[in-house]
């Protein structure tokens, strides 16, 4: 089983080495690393070239945003299982991908996900928030639950059945994507009870007040475009769940 890991980047010279090193350190040998760069003007691609033993395929060209770049990566990926690891994130330990493979191998599932920790920008061993996702179902989406997208891996047949990221959602396309797969298409998901990814604080949907506001409205719209009707409190509960992450311990 080959696992494709798609890394989207733009002027990520300060962090992408950590990302690629975490892939290099994995104890699972069958990994395809795909790097999609948005036309960086710093040393990002020079660093990518230093990881030629890890990176299977890379491109550097302008794109229409982060999810357009992810879609490019999905089109390039050839693995049996596919996930996203962005250039400011890193796999939590050497067994992260082995755990993904084990979940797909031992359980009949279409998708897997795990726990995630938000870490300090400079000290990636300093945990700021702990996203303990727990076992979730399609029904739990109605109560504000969702898997951490950086820990979300899908089988190739999922892409063939359900398509890629919807570019009508420039901030919350990851939410719409998982909502579509798990709630609309009722795909089977399996929970890996481990921290799979370390994510630096300051993610794309949270790095400005305007993006947070836009994410709120896009979350509502994601239900509508999929022909689904949330409860009146669904999106509010999704926001409330974030506060619990500051209290949880890994």
3-state DSSP call for residue 181? helix
pLDDT at 208: 53
Say what the pLDDT of residue 244 is: 65
Mean pLDDT over residues 44-63, rounded? 97
Residue 120 lies in a domain: yes
Domain that holds residue 238: 3-245
Is residue 148, in this structure, part of any structural domain at all? Answer: yes
What's the rounded mean pLDDT across residues 158-175?
Answer: 94
pLDDT at 37: 98
DSSP the chain: --EEEEEEESS-TTTHHHHHHHHHT-S---EEEEEEE---SSSHHHHHHHTTTTEEEEEE---SSHHHHHHHHHHH---SEEEE--TTEEESSTTHHHHHHHHHHHS--SEEEEEEEEE-SS-TTSEEEEE---S--HHHHTTT----GGG-EEEHHHHHHH-S--TT-TTTHHHHHHHIIIIIS---EEEEEEEEEEEES--GGGSSHHHHHHHHHHHHHHHHHTT----TTHHHHHHHHHHHHTT---
**Structural domain includes residue 231:** yes
> Does residue 154 contact residue 181 with C-beta atoms inside 8 Å?
yes
pLDDT classification of 67: cutoffs 50, 70, 90? very high
In a domain, 183, yes or no: yes
Task: Kindly tell me if the per-residue pLDDT of 205 is higher than 50.
Answer: no
% pLDDT > 70, the chain = 94
Cα 230 to Cα 35, 179, 220: the distances in Å are 36, 11, 8
Cα 212 from Cα 217, distance rounded (Å):
9
Q: What is the mean pLDDT of the chain?
A: 92
Which pair of structure tokens corresponds to residue 161?
């059945």
With 60 as the cut, is the pLDDT of residue 240 above it?
yes
For residue 250, tell me if it sits in a domain.
no
Say if 49 falls within a structural domain.
Answer: yes
Q: Is the pLDDT of residue 90 over 50?
A: yes
Asked if 239 contacts 192 with a C-beta cutoff of 8 angstroms, the reply is no
What pLDDT was estimated at residue 33?
Answer: 98
Contact status, residue 38 vs residue 67, Cβ threshold 8 Å: no
Is the pLDDT at 81 greater than 60? The verdict is: yes
Q: Is residue 229 part of a domain?
A: yes
Q: Reply yes or no on whether the pLDDT at 246 is more than 90.
A: no
Mean pLDDT of 40-51: 98
CATH number where 66 lies: 3.90.550.10
Into how many domains does the chain fold?
1
215 confidence band (pLDDT: 50, 70, 90): confident
Q: How confident is the model at residue 211 (pLDDT cuts 50, 70, 90)?
A: confident
Return the pLDDT at 206.
45
**86 within domain boundaries:** yes
């Amino acid at each position: 089983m080959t696992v494709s890991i798609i890394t989207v980047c733009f002027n990520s010279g300060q962090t992408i080495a950590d990302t690629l090193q975490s892939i290099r350190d994995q104890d699972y040998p069958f990994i395809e690393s795909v790097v999609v760069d948005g036309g960086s003007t710093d040393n990002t691609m020079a660093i990518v070239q230093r990881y030629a033993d890890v990176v299977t395929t890379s491109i550097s060209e302008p794109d229409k945003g982060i999810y357009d770049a992810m879609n490019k990566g999905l089109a390039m990926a050839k693995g049996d299982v596919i996930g996203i690891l962005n250039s400011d994130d890193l796999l939590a330990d050497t067994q992260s991908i082995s755990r993904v493979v084990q979940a797909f191998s031992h359980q009949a599932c279409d998708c897997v996900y795990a726990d995630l920790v938000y870490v300090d920008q400079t000290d990636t061993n300093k945990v700021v928030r702990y996203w303990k996702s727990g076992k979730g179902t399609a029904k739990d989406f109605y109560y504000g639950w969702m898997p951490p997208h950086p820990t979300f891996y899908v089988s190739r047949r999922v892409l063939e059945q359900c398509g890629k990221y919807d570019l009508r959602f420039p901030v919350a396309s990851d939410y719409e994507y998982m909502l579509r797969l798990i709630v609309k298409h009722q795909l089977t998901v399996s929970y890996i009870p481990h921290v799979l990814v370390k994510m630096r604080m300051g993610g794309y949907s949270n790095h400005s007040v305007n993006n947070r506001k836009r994410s709120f409205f896009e979350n509502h719209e994601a239900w509508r475009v999929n022909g689904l009707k949330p409860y009146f409190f669904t999106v509010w509960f999704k926001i409330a769940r974030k506060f619990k992450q500051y209290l949880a311990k890994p």
